[in-house]
Amino acid sequence: MTANRAEATAAGPDWARGAARLAGRLKGLRPWRRFGLAIALGGLSVLALPPISAAPLLFVTVPLLIWLLDGTGSRRAAFAVGWGFGFGYFLFGLYWVAFALTVDLARFWWVMPFAIAGLPAGLAVLWGTVAAVWRALPWRGAHRVLGFALLMGAMEWVRGHALTGFPWNLPGYVWIDWLPILQAASVVGLYGLTFLTLLVAASPAAVVARDGQASRRAAVLPAMALVAILAVTGWGLQRVPGAPVATVPDVQLRLVQGNIPQVEKWDPAFARRNFEVQRQLSVAEGFPAVTHVIWPETAVPYNVMGDPLARELLAQVTPAGGMTLVGAPRFGGTDADQTYWNSLLALDDTGTVQAVFDKFHLVPFGEYVPDWAWFLTAVGADVSGAGGYSAGDGPVTLDLPGLPPMSPLICYEVIFPAQVTADGQRPAWLLNITNDAWYGETAGPHQHFAIAQARAVEEGMPLVRVASTGISGVVDPFGRVTARLGLGSQGVVDAPLPQALPQPTPYARHGDLWLWLMLGTTSLVVVLWPIATRRQPRTNTFEQ
């Protein structure tokens, strides 16, 4: 070690030397230990998401991932580490998907391995690809951290769009319970917030270079990240008003949560009882003040349109001059060639269907079998019960008597940023009906509700959510929950409808434009940084 380096080491702060020593140990791990630690770090990162929302954990796990990648000697090794981190993240973040299959395990047992491990393994390929590309590029120092956030942010956008998209548990959702920071979604959306989250979370890794040496200059990046977090928090605190937002006059909603187990929902033996449970909840105490009643997705699991008695019974629990909105399947075609839609029906107090909305973004394998999944039938898998629904047109804006214009969303449709409202007439609120009974009392319904909260902030309009077993509630345009009924509870939520913001948010107007501007700017910095610093004198370093 040279005299200059020895002097720098002696003067170096403890945190810098400690970080360099830790990075050095990670770099020296055997490949299988590095891979196992990557899986563990990915699983630990899930605690940053709802319902735990321990967002600061990412400031530990993401830098450790980068230091693990620094220790890889090839693109293949980097892919393995990135894949391992992604596998742990998706395995523990999406475990609840397999819970749905236990409802009819005898029929769908063959899907269980795919749901438990196959889905996480497939999604993890995207993160592994990011790691391999990142390792192949000649990035050093702090700009390799920028490059990591750049590639990961872009890949998360791809995950939300490729093969119909699955943007569940984007890293930006860690801020759901940190409302001041969540307000940034009104400008950059959840994809943009995901990129910023990855950037600030990865920034501590900049204090140690890829060769394991610590740099004073690189410490500027985490300092800037801290300033950015404080600035966004200050702006968010200023943006969210101290008082509740105004409500829509003469509208009192009743959200009906029957808490009907999924194993009983489609059983004909329970059909009459389930229907009556929801009817009685609809007219429970406080009903005279209610103007509109809302039931969840497939609350009536048969053809209401073709059943005059069902419509008559629904009319009896519809407020005079108001409406009842009911989730139910809709049928079309002939007996030999039936067509099915997952629909929302709006009935008036005479039992007349005034409006219909058909779900337009269907769940792959749950409501239809994608064309690209032809290989499943080729290997003999029974997919006959995994589809059958047709997609409607959407998104749409519905005008219903006594209500401001709304954008209806059924279940899964609420998870897609910038795809929840129609072009043209701006709705005044979002209505999300869903059946989360498939997932029991797992993390899935909590994550789903949190995702819906983010759409309210992005669009600057309230969101009303009605779930069969929970979580049901009302969210104002700043993401604040104004009324809520918890998971696994039976009852109703009576609440006024908050008003939308007077003007659309920047994200509602421009979508992901800010994301691409941020990614483009970061790309320029990553490319130009080595050129600008090529002739700079070497930074003092600290011994590992």
Spatial contact of 417 and 194, defined as CB atoms under 8 Å apart: no
Residue found under tokens 């890829």: 210
Residue found under tokens 């236990």: 102
In 325-410, alpha helices (H): 374-378
Alpha-carbon gap, residue 301 to 345, rounded angstroms: 12
List phi, psi (to 5°) of 170.
-55, 140
CB under 8 Å to 495, separation ≥6 — which residues? Answer: 252, 253, 255, 474, 482, 483
Catalytic residue among 27, 265, 297, 458: 297
Alpha-carbon gap, residue 210 to 140, rounded angstroms: 6
Cα dihedral 231, 525, 167, 178 in deg (nearest 10): -10
Work out the end-to-end distance of the chain between its first and last CA atoms, rounded to an integer number of angstroms.
12
Alpha-carbon gap, residue 112 to 97, rounded angstroms: 9
Residue found under tokens 């959306």: 189
- Measure the CA angle with vertex 80, ends 77 and 85; round to 5°: 130
Spatial contact of 457 and 479, defined as CB atoms under 8 Å apart: yes
Partners of residue 332 on adjacent β-strands: 339
Q: Give kind and range of the element (H or E) at residue 303.
A: none
Partners of residue 252 on adjacent β-strands: 496
Residue found under tokens 């948010």: 505
Interhelix angle 185-202/220-239, rounded to 10 degrees, is 150
Question: Is-catalytic flag, 297?
Answer: yes
List phi, psi (to 5°) of 297.
-55, 135
CB under 8 Å to 95, separation ≥6 — which residues? Answer: 116, 442, 443
Neighbours of 437 (CB within 10 A): 25
Neighbours of 309 (CB within 10 A): 9
The alpha carbon dihedral of 458, 359, 471, 165 has a sign of negative
Catalytic residue among 156, 359, 413, 459: 359
Neighbours of 33 (CB within 10 A): 12
Closest CA to 477 of 491, 460, 489: 460
Bridge-based pairing of strands 214-215 and 247-257 is unpaired
Alpha-carbon gap, residue 79 to 121, rounded angstroms: 13
Q: Give kind and range of the element (H or E) at residue 306.
A: none
Q: Give kind and range of the element (H or E) at residue 47.
A: none
The residue type of 24 is G
Alpha-carbon gap, residue 496 to 279, rounded angstroms: 21
Question: Which are the catalytic amino acids?
Answer: 297, 359, 411
